[in-house]
Amino acid sequence: MNFGLTSDQQAMVHHVRTLLDDVCSMEYAARCDETRTPPREAFNAIARNGWLGLIAPEDYGGAGGTPTDLALLLEETGNHFEELGLWLFRSFTFGCYAILKHGTEEQKQRIVPGTVKGELSFAFALTEPDSGSDAAALRTRAVLDGDHFVVNGRKQFTSGMDISDYVLLACRTNDLGKKQLGISTLLVDTRLPGIEVRKILTLGQNAIGTTEVTYTNVRVPRSALLGELDHGWNVCEDTLRYERLCLSAARIGAARRAFDFALDYAKTRHQFGKPIGSFQVTQHKFADMKVMLDTSQTMVRRYAWLMENNQAERADAAVLKYYVAESYKTISDICLQILGGYGYCMEYPMQRFFRDSRLATIGGGTSEVQKNIIAGTLGL
């Protein structure tokens, strides 16, 4: 396993950093958060420069990049604005990866080129009011009626639904005893009649945010089925593993931005006649955070390498997601403390990292669930 970046990867990181320095400053991110506005200008700039095509094969308008390339791109994006990284991750995961891996040729031709150009955005709807961690217990139902599925049910926490063209919807199409069986995944046009979206106000992730979505007799064409009928749980699990790479990469970038901000502050803020960074207790906080950042980054690169070599297991994704999420949460908390009262002020950026990072250990599978997955492999 090689930790060095190729010249192409170095050029990509440099280009994306320069681009985002220009279109996605800290002030821009703060404004999007404050006004609950999606970072569309930055998303469009990434698309215009071709980066949304990073992982798609050339036949679909992409560059055929690797999971490591993707992790580097998302780390850089998360370093500028985590929510931009999360928007891009949905394009890569649901608009490219899931369709390329599980879709028909017709679906690939119809959707992937639009994703690559940034013309389409995506959401993922697994969670329901009564099934969160126990996701396979979902009850939203899709019943076949001729050439259509008729969908009824309610999804909780569908992030980005209101800015998406398609939602990858997990629903029950059959009762086959085991709850993981009889689930299907449909790529649903978000503008179909019978879909009702309600915004949910949250502690963080304000720019794009999340929603509750009700489906009432929504007629979805049969061609929307992604993967095999009744075997959609495999699509969900596979997609969640890919998601864990993307989210972890974006969150390392965000954690590093919080760290760098606090480091500058600790060098310039004076108390008792000296910089607060000269107190050993502060220095040890930075040392602890540096270890967490380096370990997180190594774990992302390792997981990307495992993916590239078809060796990534479910527990590897859980180890990655658990460690990086907990580290990001801890780092943003420590950084807020280093800024003292200013860390607690809305006019300083640290509160946004503190609020946004709080989702890391909850969304996409809680830390407790990741630990269950890890422990489940240990033969206890």
Ligand X SMILES: Cc1cc2nc3c(=O)[nH]c(=O)nc-3n(C[C@H](O)[C@H](O)[C@H](O)COP(=O)(O)OP(=O)(O)OC[C@H]3O[C@@H](n4cnc5c(N)ncnc54)[C@H](O)[C@@H]3O)c2cc1C
**Distance of alpha carbon 182 from alpha carbon 136, whole angstroms:** 10
**62 and 54 in contact (C-beta within 8 Å)?**
yes
Largest Cα–Cα distance of the chain, in whole Å? 78
Query: What token pair was written down for 75?
Result: 């780390």
Nearest Cα to 185, choosing from 203, 167, 200, 204? Answer: 167
158 binds ligand X (CB under 6 A): yes
When asked if residue 86 is in the footprint of ligand X (CB under 6 A), the reply is: no
Name the minimum Å distance from CB 123 to ligand X: 6
Q: How many residues bind ligand X (CB under 6 A)?
A: 21
CB of 151 to ligand X, least distance (A): 15
Q: To the nearest whole angstrom, how small is the minimum distance from the Cβ of residue 4 to ligand X?
A: 35
159 near ligand X, rule: CB under 6 A = yes
Q: Tell me 311's DSSP state.
A: -
Helix (H, G, I), strand (E, B) or coil at 262: helix
Q: Is 133 in the site for ligand X (CB under 6 A)?
A: yes
Smallest distance, ligand X to C-beta of residue 314, A: 16
Q: Min. distance of Cβ 209 from ligand X in angstroms?
A: 7
Shorter beta-carbon distance to ligand X: residue 127 or 332: 127
How many Cα atoms sit within 13 Å of 26 on the Cβ side? 12
Describe the crossing of helices 350-357 and 314-338 by its angle, rounded to 10 degrees.
Answer: 150
Name the residue nearer to ligand X (CB basis): 121 or 158.
158
**Residue 112 near residue 99, CB atoms below 8 Å:** yes
Shortest distance, CB of residue 177 to ligand X, whole angstroms?
21
Contact 59, 115 (CB under 8 A): no
The identity of residue 192, as a single letter, is L
**Binding of ligand X by 277 (CB under 6 A):** no
Q: How far is the CB of 169 from ligand X (least distance, A)?
A: 10
Of the candidate residues 45, 71, 339, 359, the single one contacting ligand X (CB under 6 A): 359
| Contact call for residues 335 and 262 (beta carbons, < 8 A) | yes
- The SS3 call for residue 246 is helix
Q: x/- contact string, 223-262, with ligand X (CB under 6 A)?
A: ----------------------------------------
- Contact between 364 and ligand X by CB under 6 A: the answer reads yes
Under rule CB under 6 A, which residues in 175-204 are in contact with ligand X? 202
* 68/127 with CB nearer ligand X: 127
Count of CB atoms within 10 A of residue 368's CB?
11
86, 99, 120, 125: which one binds ligand X (CB under 6 A)? 125
Q: Which uninterrupted H or E stretch holds 198? A: strand 195-200
> Which residues bind to ligand X, rule: CB under 6 A?
124-127, 132-133, 157-159, 202, 205, 210, 359, 362-366, 368-369, 372
